[in-house]
A and B are shown apart, each in its own frame.
Chain A
């Protein structure tokens, strides 16, 4: 057997991934204790907690991409979205919660990027949970101070004439970026366009993908 000496490889030839199991930490014990107390006191139920986790897991940037793609193809919806993104997103069937959602549109002259300097406020109802870098000190502190340098680290280099607008989110007010529609997509349907809308393009740290040539 040629692979007998590769004890760290699985039968498929890939390295085993450690389980990452560790003894419970103090904070994990606290979570268990709080969860049990809340259930015993009738504040919530195990089923409600599971349903909330499932709802959260079901949210992904595909939701936001569907909203953006519709805005690209439906001028009336685009106007509604820019006027009241919460209401327009709800009208598409997305649960936005009580927060105010504001859509900001990238154009040939303006590039928008969102950050939460306080913590991690993010349009999670349309994009899912934020990526770790969005919550990092580096992103939060530097985006408001040197946005062009941060964008360059993400591979987005903008001409000097482009205005960069940084939007600092709060708990009650979240932003989503409507990226510029890529060229070469005239006549495309919303369904065709949605796959071009990446998560990062809706944060502003990326651009929408260009159509494959």
Chain B
């Protein structure tokens, strides 16, 4: 990244959405408890192709990396995640919060 040609520094700023803050919190909490390290977060981000940096937002990349690291740490399986994501999608397209909240 350092030294790659680029245009002016963008001045846009957005308010962080709750889901983005949650991604940040999940990263801080799970890495703080030793399930993975910041280096692990970085490794997955750096393995991403350049297109990911054009097409995904910052916290989209983060949740993808957090997921990869948690799967590698054995916290849950990809099958468990897939099943849960299917269940989440089935609740509808808005935040129908589960009882855990």
Contacts and interface: CB of A to CB of B under 8 A. Distances in A.
B: contact size bracket: 35 or more
Interface string B66-101: 110010000110001100110111000111001011
Contact of A44 (B6, B29, B67): B29
B4 to A, nearest CB: 4
A129 B13 contact: no
A137 B53 contact: yes
A133 B29 contact: no
Contact of B8 (A44, A117, A153, A171): A153
Contact of B14 (A24, A34, A132, A168): A132
A46 B101 contact: yes
B1 A34 contact: no
B13 A48 contact: no
Contacts of B21: 53, 56-57
Given A132-B12, A132-B13, A139-B9, A171 B58 contact: no
Given A32-B88, A49-B22, A131 B13 contact: yes
Interface string A108-148: 00000000011110000000010111011111111011000
A31 B81 CA distance: 10
The CB with the most chain A CB atoms within 10 A, among B13, B53, B58, is that of B58
Given A118-B42, A141-B6, A24 B94 contact: yes
Given A38-B30, A52-B28, A133-B10, A31 B3 contact: no
Contacts of B23: 31
Interface residues of A, number: 52
Contacts of B7: 138
A120 B88 CA distance: 30
A33 interface: yes
Nearest to A34: B67
Given A31-B63, A34-B81, A142-B9, A44 B22 contact: no
Interface in A40-99: 40-41, 43-44, 46, 48-49, 52-53, 56-57
B12 A38 contact: no
A12 interface: no
Nearest to A50: B25
Contacts of A39: 100
Contacts of A100: none
Interface of A: 21, 23-25, 27-41, 43-44, 46, 48-49, 52-53, 56-57, 117-120, 129, 131-133, 135-142, 144-145, 150, 153-154, 168, 171-172
22 contacts: A29-B89, A30-B63, A30-B64, A33-B81, A34-B63, A34-B81, A39-B100, A41-B76, A43-B35, A53-B18, A118-B46, A120-B58, A133-B9, A133-B10, A133-B12, A138-B7, A138-B8, A141-B3, A141-B6, A144-B3, A150-B9, A171-B42
